[in-house]
Amino acid sequence: MTTPTVTEIRRNGNPVGERIELARYTITAGTRVLLGQRVDGTVRVSDHPADGRGRAVLVERGLEQDGNAALVALINDYVQQATLHDQVPMLASPVDRYLDHLENRQEGVV
């Protein structure tokens, strides 16, 4: 009888789970994909260009402590902000976001 072999993916010595697509959004610069992945027991959400070319950014990590509701809220807010500002939220300047917020508030957009 043969014992089944379990292959575990490791990166830098840490166990790494498969990437799961959580959401997609499109801005002028192109389509982006939010991916979730468990790395060494920690849930990480990252934002990648859908075509695989360009900069990927870490959005959040450690969400496993807050539960699924926090993950859903993060994804919904992130996609909403990307659409509203037509840019990758993690690459936007906080000052520019604040100025956009003030401008939108004066125009009645929240």
User: pLDDT tens digits, residue range 57-110?
Assistant: 999 999 888 889 999 999 999 999 999 989 999 988 878 778 877 887 787 765
* Domains held by the chain: number: 1
Q: Is residue 52 part of a domain?
A: yes
Residue, of 11 and 86, whose pLDDT is higher = 86
Asked whether 88 and 81 are in contact (CB, 8 A), the reply is: no
Q: Is residue 84 part of a domain?
A: yes
Asked whether 25 and 79 are in contact (CB, 8 A), the reply is: yes
Q: Is residue 76 part of a domain?
A: yes
Q: Is residue 102 part of a domain?
A: yes
Residue, of 14 and 70, whose pLDDT is higher = 70
Residue, of 3 and 35, whose pLDDT is higher = 35
Asked whether 78 and 34 are in contact (CB, 8 A), the reply is: yes
Structural domain boundaries enclosing 19: 10-106
Q: What is the spatial distance between Cα 101 and Cα 110, in angstroms, rounded to a whole number?
A: 8
Q: Is the model's pLDDT at 5 over the cut of 70?
A: no
